[in-house]
Homo-oligomer: A and B are copies of this chain.
Amino acid sequence: MSSEPQNPPMEEEEANNAAAQSKKAAKKEAAKLEKQRRREAASVAAAETADTLADNYGDVPLEELQSKSVTGREWAEIGALTADLEGRAVLVRGRAQTIRGVSKKMAFLVVREKGFTVQCVVCVAPDLVSPQMVKFITGLSRESYVDVHGIVSVPKDPIKGASQQVEIQVRKLYCINKALPALPINIEDAARSEVEIEKALQAGEQLVRVNQDTRLNFRVLDLRTPANQGIFRIQCQVENIFRQFLLSEGFVGIHTPKLIAGSSEGGSAVFKLDYKGQPACLAQSPQLHKQMAICGDFGRVFEIGPVFRAEDSFTHRHLCEFTGLDVEMEIKEHYSEVMDVVDRLFVAMFDSLNEKCKKEFEAIGKQYPFEPLKYLRKTLRLTFQEGVQMLKEAGIEVDPLGDLNTETERKLGQLVSEKYGTEFYILHRYPLAVRPFYTMPCCDDPAYSNSFDVFIRGEEIISGAQRVHVPEFLATRAESCGIEVKTISTYIDSFRYGAPPHGGFGVGLERVVMLFCALNNIRKTSLFPRDPLRIAP
């Protein structure tokens, strides 16, 4: 994925005279062209020197950008440029997104900052803008950083090619940093919706479609699209609402170690490493340590941090590294107390997102159109048995003591949406056999467990349960699940010094954003995704 500038080819041993002679001729030709190029450059330079308005534009030398001075100048945010600034002089910094020379005397420039764009107009005018300045601007490479000084104006007709409904009449323009003239992907192409591509195709025009892999190879370019700017600002909001809600309910934010002795919760899906001569692995979840924090008297805890899965899952919904939102809490009587937290937390989150992130959803929706999530004020709870029954009535037979697969989960999501009018619901009392060893069995039927999954648009986003807090029982459960008790003795020992009944859940941050926005691939909601085939950039 390197796009380094081409180095001059190494001189190779010459094979025969003919080749050498043709090379000589080529060299001669090259030297001639070079001479010509220099002559032209000199004449351009002369013309520029002759420009009495030459101070109004040009490349800023690096020295000026090395913290040379503090001038006190103020830069306006492009996203904040509105009609009430009409007639005012502004200074903005952003990228030259598109540059269009209309004539030798006029050019248009769309400048972008954080996904917002403004149209800039350069017109030759005596004592203000020289033809050389128009030429300089027309020659800028896309995505270069520029400082634009100008006057805000409000055109009669609405502006189609930019987010802000004002223009800047350019007075001065300096290039801060140049982009390569040939970009591996154009932001315009990367920001295009499928609908647009299809429509153009029907009109006989073939527009560029940037595929997912190319996007990820050149992620720093891809991230600049308005949709991606929106996605990661929403991700930040999801995390923030999660934190603020839990803090308001008395939870303590913690950080547990990702480097774990031995092999974590077991299984082959761990990344192993050598820790100063000891076998170690990366935590598949903060499960064990967040429970230990409960044994350490923190009452209610949460953690936001990376979790690592070495699974070979090549699906739209699995990553090898993602951000886990984890919760663990004492429960007084019933695992419904944990579901109550899930319920209040997510309804509050959806409400807040819908209210505060309108601009971001709009930006995403333009490229990836989606319907707002349907959810109830009080989250629907169905037992696993009720879910199985619903599927049965729809003609789908599933093992009542087995797990649902992605397909049956999606089908059940559909049925629930039709019957209850919600795309967000909780399914609880899962069969014990399909849950981890530390899950508390139901008291009235040991074939079932005090556990739950939560679904958005038919896909699982949360897994939770009451945990076994009695060490002897925990050891028995581990054994019957085929886990060697010795390997998890520090974990089990944590419960020997008094442990309260407790439960919790885990959520994948990327999945929440993906499903809330009905995106089709989790790689779209991970800044620099890691999957079995990708560990760069």
Residues of A within 8 A of B (CB): 1-4, 62-71, 73, 75, 93, 95, 112-115, 141, 143-145, 176-180, 183, 218-224, 228-229, 232-233, 235-236, 239-240, 243, 247, 252-261, 271-276, 278, 280, 282, 289, 292-293, 295-299, 304-306, 308, 310, 312, 320-321, 323, 330-336, 440-444, 450, 466, 469-470, 473, 489-494, 496-501, 509, 526-530, 532-533, 535-537
Set of chain B residues within 8 Å of A178, measured between Cβ atoms: 498
Report if A530-B259 is in contact (Cβ < 8 Å); known contacts: A75-B332, A498-B177: yes
On whether the beta carbons of A298 and B535 are closer than 8 Å, the reply is no
Q: Can you list the 9 inter-chain pairs with the closest CB atoms, starting with the nearest? A: A223-B296, A179-B498, A66-B443, A143-B498, A273-B273, A67-B334, A490-B537, A236-B253, A220-B295
Instruction: Chain B residues near A466: list those with CB within 8 A.
Output: 66-67
With most chain B CB atoms within 10 A of its CB, the pick from A112, A223, A239, A273 is: A273
Max count, chain B CB within 10 A of own CB: residue among A220, A224, A256, A537: A220
Least Cβ–Cβ distance between A248 and chain B, in angstroms = 11
Bound complex: CA A114 to CA B70 (Å): 50
A494–B537 CB distance below 8 A: yes
13 A-B pairs whose Cβ atoms sit less than 8 Å apart in the complex: A67-B334, A69-B333, A93-B330, A141-B498, A144-B498, A177-B469, A219-B296, A229-B298, A255-B509, A255-B526, A258-B308, A259-B320, A275-B320
Interchain CA distance A112-B297 in the complex, whole Å? 9
Q: Min CB distance, A163 to chain B, in Å?
A: 13
Q: Are B66 and A440 in contact (CB under 8 A)?
A: yes
* Interchain CB contact under 8 A, B500 and A145: yes
Determine whether the beta carbon of B221 is less than 8 Å from that of A497: yes
Contact of A321 among B64, B258, B442 (CB under 8 A): B258
Contact across chains for B232 and A298 when beta carbons are under 8 A apart: yes
Task: Using A67-B335, A333-B69, A535-B275 as known contacts, say yes or no to A232 and B258 having CB atoms under 8 A apart.
Answer: no
* B residues less than 8 Å from A221 (CB atoms): 296, 497
